[in-house]
Amino acid sequence: MKLLTAFTAAVLAVTPAFARDQVHIAGSSTVLPYASIVAEAFGENFDFPTPIVEGGGSGAGRKRLCDGLGLDTIDIANSSSLMKEEQWKKCEADIGKVSEIRFGYDGITFSMKHENKGFENLTPLQIFQALKKGSTAQTWSDVDPSLPDVAIKAFIPGTKHGTREVFEKKVMGVGCKAAGEYETLGKKGCYKVRTDGASVDIDGDYTETLASLDANVEGIGVFGLSFLINNTDKLYAAKINDVYPTTESIASGEYPVSRPLQFYVKNAHLDSVAGMREYIEFFVSDEIAGPDGPLADYGLVSDPELEATQEMVANF
Tell me how far apart the alpha carbons of residues 128 and 169 are, in angstroms, rounded to a whole number. Answer: 11
- H helices present in 192-272, as ranges: 206-215, 225-229, 247-252
CATH code: domain 6-105+261-314 is: 3.40.190.10
Per-position b or e across 176-205, b if 16+ CB within 10 A of its CB: beebebbeebeeeebbbbbeeebbbebebb
84: three-class secondary structure by DSSP: coil
Same fold flag, 6-105+261-314 and 106-258:
yes
Q: For the whole model, what pTM was predicted?
A: 0.77
Tell me how far apart the alpha carbons of residues 54 and 61 are, in angstroms, rounded to a whole number. Answer: 9
Tell me how far apart the alpha carbons of residues 265 and 74 are, in angstroms, rounded to a whole number. Answer: 9
Half-sphere exposure of 118 (CA within 13 A, CB side): 14
One digit per residue, the tens of pLDDT, for the chain of length 316 reads 655 554 444 444 334 456 889 999 999 988 999 999 999 999 999 999 999 999 999 999 999 999 999 989 999 999 999 999 999 999 999 999 999 999 999 999 999 999 999 999 999 999 999 999 999 999 999 999 999 999 999 999 999 888 898 999 999 999 999 999 999 999 999 999 999 999 999 998 888 999 999 999 999 999 988 889 889 999 999 999 999 999 889 988 899 999 899 999 999 999 999 999 999 999 999 999 999 999 998 889 999 899 999 999 999 8
Structural domain spans, the chain: 6-105+261-314, 106-258
Domain 106-258: top CATH class: alpha beta
